[in-house]
Amino acid sequence: MLMFLGFIVLIACLVIGVRRGGIGLATISGIGLVFFIFVMGLKPGKPPVDVMLTIMAVVTCSAFLQASKGLDVMLKYAEKFLRSNPKYITILAPLTTWLLAVLCGTGHVVYAMFPIIYDIAIKQNIRPERPMSVASIASQMGVCASPASVAVVSVVAILGATDHPFGVMQILSISIPATFIGVVIAGLWSINRGKDLDKDSEFQEKIADPEQKEFIYGGLQEQSLLNIILPKSAYQAALVFLLGIVVIAIFGSFPQLLPHFPNAKGVLKPFSMTPTIQLMMLSIAAVIMILCNVKTSEVASGSVFKSGMTAIVSVYGVAWMADTYFGAYLPVMKKSLSDIVLTYPWMYAIVLFLVSKLINSQAAAVTVIVPMALSVGVDPLVIVGFMPAAYGYFVLPTYPSDLACIGFDRSGTTHIGKFIINHSFLVPGLIGVGSACFAGYMLVHMVY
The counts of H helices and E strands in the chain are 20, 2
42 in a structural domain: no
Number of domains comprising the chain: 1
In a domain, 6, yes or no: no
- Among residues 387, 414, 367, 362, the alpha carbon closest in space to that of 106 is found at 362
Is 267 a domain residue? yes
As a whole number of angstroms, the distance between CA 393 and CA 51 comes to: 15
- Angle of helix 114-123 relative to helix 210-217, nearest 10 degrees? 120
Which candidate, 150, 182, 156, places its Cα nearest to that of 169?
A: 156
H or E stretch covering 270: strand 268-270
Q: Give the structural domain span for 91.
A: 48-447
> For residue 27, is it within any domain?
no
Contacts of residue 99, defined as CB under 8 A and 6 or more positions apart, other chains included, come to 142
Phi and psi of 262, rounded to 5°?
A: -70, 140
What confidence score (pLDDT) does residue 187 get?
Answer: 97
Whether 20 maps to a domain, the answer reads no
What's the CA gap between 51 and 272, in Å, rounded? 13
Contact predicate 55/108, CB 8 Å: yes
Residue 199 placed within a domain: yes
Backbone angles phi, psi at 45, to 5 degrees: -80, -170
Verdict on whether the full-model pTM lies above 0.85: no
Q: Is residue 7 part of a domain?
A: no
Contact 324, 44 (CB under 8 A): yes
Cα(59)–Cα(48) distance, rounded to whole angstroms?
16
Residues sharing a CB contact under 8 Å with residue 326, sequence separation 6 or more, in sequence order: 45, 333, 358, 359
Query: What string of pLDDT tens digits covers the 448 residues of the chain?
Result: 888 898 899 878 877 876 675 577 778 889 999 999 999 999 998 887 776 787 788 778 878 988 999 878 877 887 788 888 888 999 999 999 999 888 777 787 687 688 889 988 998 999 999 999 999 999 999 999 987 677 887 788 788 767 777 877 889 999 999 999 999 999 999 999 999 999 999 999 999 998 888 888 875 545 567 778 899 999 999 999 889 878 877 886 787 888 999 988 888 888 877 788 789 889 999 999 999 999 888 898 876 787 667 767 766 777 788 778 877 887 776 666 667 776 777 789 998 998 788 767 787 788 778 887 887 778 899 999 999 999 998 998 877 788 888 888 889 899 888 777 889 999 999 999 999 999 999 999 999 8
Position 325 in a domain: yes
118 SS3 class = helix
